[in-house]
Amino acid sequence: MPLRRRLLALVALVLALCLVAGGALTYWQGLRKIELEMSSAIEVADSAVGDAMSTIGASPDAAAYLHRIITSFDGDRHVVARLMAPDGKVVDASRLRRPVDPAPTWLYKLLSGPVHSRRFELPTELKHHGVVTIEADPHSEIGEVWEDLKLKVLIISGFCAVVLALIYAILGWALRPLEALSAALARVGEGDYTAHVDEAGPEDLNLIYRAFNRMAAQLKTAEQQNQRLNEQLSTVQEEERAEIARDLHDEIGPFLFAADVDAQSIPLLLSRDAGDDVVSRSKAIRQSVQHMQLHLRSILSRLRPAMLIDQGLTHAVEQLVAFWHARRPQIAFKTDIEDARFPANIEEAAFRILQEGMSNAVRHGNPSTIELSARRTEGGTLRVVISDDGSGISATSTRGFGLVGMKERVAALGGRLSVNGQVAEKGVILIAEIPLPIAAHDQTKHASAA
């Protein structure tokens, strides 16, 4: 059930309970009022009839006297007087004033309390006239309560209707900003991160809107980054594939061809009985195969760096340097990699940083020297440094994913990365400090103590 309807139902329930409580109170008050009225009416009538009856003996016409007593109650609202014959029949009765708007029977049954009546015996010589009775009749009083009740119900119902209508309108007005928020959330749920909520409302809701807008903006940025990363990834993959295809073509192709030519020539040489030539050709084939094995391993290690790192960071960096040295022989590479094992995730992070740092230096800096180092520090970190003497990072350089990726990688391991390039006169110095687990740190202390 929507919040608005739920709150409305709650208020309606509270009002209904108030109405019931009010009804119960009115009923109790009505009962008391009727009881009081009836008893006082019967008391007044009792004394009036009693007085009249005390002088009936002196009356010359008792029947007329009795009729006057009875008719003196004509038009009374509460008391009816009757003259009952000795056989119990009503001989004479006063006319009760009936209420204009009589109460319904059910209310009468609910409110009419005990019967209040009195009986007046006549002196012995007048006994043949019967007895005079008076009885309180609550109809008129209950009619009053009924009218009162109707008015109260009308007023309270009107009040409840007005209150409910007001609450409905106020809730609608108060919840409208939340509807905007819920629509915006639905848009975000469907992947539309441009959703925005106007911060024009009560301060506490504005806090939520602000948080929502910030979240949507961050999601949008993350989505854009993701998109760029994907594009980048596919470009990198394509570049890598092209490079591997070139390597296979340039490095493996000629040797395969040479091995094939050598293999084809062997039967011819055998038919000419040129044994020495056969031996030299078979040696050539073996050289070609060895050459191909070497290149194949280098290609595989690029495809699966984890395999490379399995043999230790020093070995992996050597391979990396060999790879770039083959492509950029004019660059001097200097390495200082600690010959030790670190936790696998730290070794991989260090390798990736060295790989990207080196690739950046070669691609963007045009340096003559690149230095790589990875060493444990006294502070319990693995310090990875890549420095070059190239052009340095220009102020107009575009943001790629390499530096961001490195930062994230280091941050994920609780470390930090600093890039000193913009201010450096020449080249770039990239330093990553990766915290080592306690055990690895202790090893450093022992090593330095020894």
Ligand X SMILES: Nc1ncnc2c1ncn2[C@@H]1O[C@H](COP(=O)(O)OP(=O)(O)OP(=O)(O)O)[C@@H](O)[C@H]1O
Residue 415 binds which of Mg ion, ligand X, none (CB < 5-8 A, kind-dependent): none
| Residue of the chain from 360, 381, 387, 444 that contacts Mg ion (CB under 5 A) | 360
- For Mg ion, give the closer residue by CB, 399 or 446: 399
Secondary structure of the chain as H, E, C letters: CCHHHHHHHHHHHHHHHHHHHHHHHHHHHHHHHHHHHHHHHHHHHHHHHHHHHHCHHHCCCHHHHHHHHHHCCCCCCCEEEEEECCCCCEEEECCCCCCCCCCCHHHHHHHCCCCCEEEEECCHHHHHHCEEEEEECCHHHHHHHHHHHHHHHHHHHHHHHHHHHHHHHHHHHHHHHHHHHHHHHHHHHCCCCCCCCCCCCCHHHHHHHHHHHHHHHHHHHHHHHHHHHHHHHHHHHHHHHHHHHHHHHHHHHHHHHHHHHHHHHHHHHHHCCCHHHHHHHHHHHHHHHHHHHHHHHHHHHHHCHHHHHCCCHHHHHHHHHHHHHHHCCCCEEEEEECCCCCCHHHHHHHHHHHHHHHHHHHHHHCCCEEEEEEEECCCCEEEEEEEECCCCCCCCCCCCCHHHHHHHHHHHCCCEEEEECCCCCCCEEEEEEEECCHHHHHHHHHHHHC
Residue 446 binds which of Mg ion, ligand X, none (CB < 5-8 A, kind-dependent): none
Measured from the CB of residue 407, what is the shortest distance to Mg ion in angstroms? 12
Residue 428 binds which of ligand X, Mg ion, none (CB < 5-8 A, kind-dependent): ligand X
Binding of residue 402 to Mg ion (CB under 5 A)? yes
Residue 218 binds which of ligand X, Mg ion, none (CB < 5-8 A, kind-dependent): none
One character per residue 63-92, x = contact with Mg ion (rule: CB under 5 A): ------------------------------
- For ligand X, give the closer residue by CB, 69 or 370: 370
Binders of Mg ion among 382-401, rule CB under 5 A? Answer: 400
- Find the part of the chain contacting Mg ion (CB under 5 A) among 175-183, 316-324, 333-341, 359-367: 359-367
Measured from the CB of residue 396, what is the shortest distance to Mg ion in angstroms? 16
Residue 365 binds which of Mg ion, ligand X, none (CB < 5-8 A, kind-dependent): ligand X
- For ligand X, give the closer residue by CB, 328 or 441: 328
- For Mg ion, give the closer residue by CB, 292 or 358: 358
Footprint of ligand X on this chain (CB under 6 A)? 232, 360-361, 364-365, 388, 390-393, 397-403, 428
Measured from the CB of residue 366, what is the shortest distance to ligand X in angstroms? 8
- For Mg ion, give the closer residue by CB, 140 or 360: 360
Binding of residue 94 to Mg ion (CB under 5 A)? no
Binding of residue 30 to Mg ion (CB under 5 A)? no
Measured from the CB of residue 430, what is the shortest distance to Mg ion in angstroms? 11
Structure tokens at 288: 């070609």
β-strand partners of 426: none
- For Mg ion, give the closer residue by CB, 102 or 405: 405
Measured from the CB of residue 393, what is the shortest distance to ligand X in angstroms? 4
Measured from the CB of residue 278, what is the shortest distance to ligand X in angstroms? 51
Measured from the CB of residue 259, what is the shortest distance to Mg ion in angstroms? 38
Chain residues that interact with Mg ion, rule: CB under 5 A? 360, 400, 402
